[in-house]
Amino acid sequence: MSITVLRIGHRPERDHRITTHVALVSRAFGADSISIWEKDEKIKKSIDSVCKRWGGNFSVHFETYKQAFKKFEGISVHLTMYGIPFENKIEEIKDIVFKNNSNLMIVIGAEKVPKDIYEMSDYNLSVTNQPHSEISALTLFLDRLYSGKEIKKEFKNAKLKIIPCEKGKNIITGESEK
Ligand SMILES: C[S@@+](CC[C@H](N)C(=O)[O-])C[C@H]1O[C@@H](n2cnc3c(N)ncnc32)[C@H](O)[C@@H]1O
């Protein structure tokens, strides 16, 4: 079972920062990879660098949404404010993913998404029916999917680790960072 985020609508000159944040949220909240429809090597470089220092096996890929859907085996969930409330379907999706061991592809847009996404996706789900952001929709969806447990996720082979403290910063640095 693996969880991938398909980020459509990315335009390198305009969306660099927000797509980087989408990738960081995907990694931090338990996805295994992100596919971005437009090549942007700068994002890959910065996310690869985060993974090297902060651990885990998160990966960044580039492919069109048609390529992504064609090769994907599992269930796809498109997050859209026009969809069915996600809280009505989340238990069903959890069963498919965790009990049936199915791969999951979470599709999020930037501006208007191509019409066929609504047909190609197995589920079109809303995180409230108000317009907001792909980052908040993705975060809430992943958090509910994992029932909040991803918050405690430990990342393997991390060179950096934060020791939470009341004030200031406390970071443990691994051998290879010295
Ligand atoms: C800035 S919004 C674009 C909204 C746009 N009007 C549309 O046609 O979907 C960018 C992305 O955020 C996500 N998003 C925004 N609001 C959402 C909501 N209420 N529920 C689920 N996803 C949402 C969707 O994935 C959307 O493609």
Residue 80 inside a domain? The answer is yes
Torsion sign over Cα 24, 28, 29, 32: positive
- Residue 172: the pLDDT is 93
- Residue 12: the pLDDT is 80
* Closest C-alpha to ligand 1, atom 19: 81
Residue 175 inside a domain? The answer is no
Residue 162 inside a domain? The answer is no
Atom of ligand 1 nearest to the CA of 125: 21
Indicate the number of domains in the chain. Answer: 1
For each successive 10 residues of the chain (178 residues), what is the average pLDDT? 95 89 98 94 96 97 96 98 98 98 97 95 98 97 97 95 96 67
| CATH assignment of the domain containing 137 | 3.40.1280.10
Distance 149 CA to ligand 1 centre (A): 25
pTM over 0.85: yes
Helices and strands (H, E) in the chain, number of each type: 6, 8
Structure tokens, 121: 């996706």
Residue 172 inside a domain? The answer is no
